[in-house]
Amino acid sequence: MIDMQELITAIGRIPTATLHEAMGRRGAMLSYIKPIRSGMKLVGRALPVRCPAADNLGLHAAIAMAKPGDVLVASMDGNTEGGAWGEIATVAAQVRGIRGLVIDGAVRDTERICALQFPVFAKGVSIKGTTKKTLLSVGQPVVCGGVLVNPGDIVVGDDDGVVVVPLGEAEKVLKAATEKERTEAEILEQIRQGKLTVDLLGLRPLLEGEKR
């Protein structure tokens, strides 16, 4: 059995789109969850957080509870009218060894977060503040970006978006994704040699059917 950290690292090297395809087109968060700046990469174990709209008490609780290597995955019910995460939370998270944040709400202080090189994938950006009144849950399953996220699931983010790999499927997904990358590398080499995608991908019969 592969070491868990080695497994997480290996999965993190694979593009999110490839992981999504390797899981039978599952696990991809809705397309509005994007990095706050191009080039951000994220991989780690999910620590789910559920917060009311425009209330970030749960995020501060999660920072206190997190273990090194965790990724906070926060459900804000999709509300983007409050910047629930900023520079102070970022520095606090980095000190705790947290790998990044995925949130279906908004963040602020984005320039400073980027300068700190802390990966944040969010639905939006808002300069508005939030309250700290209600704690819903930390460490319980949440739905974020349309995907059910359980504690310990592997979260991967890149410029294309975020994908969640269920922990129990991680080794199988890694194997399938690695094989897919190998196959696609062979296709790319054949394309460079002059072959057509309609032939390599078996599309010609469909095109010929359209002509009839």
Q: How far apart are CA 127 and CA 56, in angstroms?
A: 14
Looking at the domain assignment, is residue 37 inside a domain? yes
pTM score of the predicted model: 0.94
The string of DSSP codes covering 105-156 is EEE--HHHHHHTT--EEEEEE-----B-----EESS-EEETTEEE-TT-EEE
Range of the domain at 44: 4-172
One-letter amino acid at 14 equals I
Looking at the domain assignment, is residue 39 inside a domain? yes
Looking at the domain assignment, is residue 20 inside a domain? yes
Distance of CA 7 to the CA centre of its chain: 16
pLDDT (tens digit, 0 to 9) for every residue of the chain, 212 residues total?
A: 679 999 999 999 999 999 999 999 999 999 999 999 999 999 999 999 999 999 999 999 999 999 999 999 999 989 999 999 999 999 999 999 999 999 999 999 999 999 999 999 999 999 999 999 999 999 999 999 999 999 999 999 999 999 999 999 999 999 999 999 999 999 999 999 999 999 999 998 998 865 54
Looking at the domain assignment, is residue 208 inside a domain? no
Report the number of distinct structural domains present in the chain: 1
CATH number where 43 lies:
3.50.30.40
Looking at the domain assignment, is residue 159 inside a domain? yes
User: Of 130, 209, 177, whose CA–CA distance to 7 is shortest?
Assistant: 177
Find the helix or strand (DSSP H, E) in which 2 lies.
none
Q: What is the DSSP letter of 16?
A: H
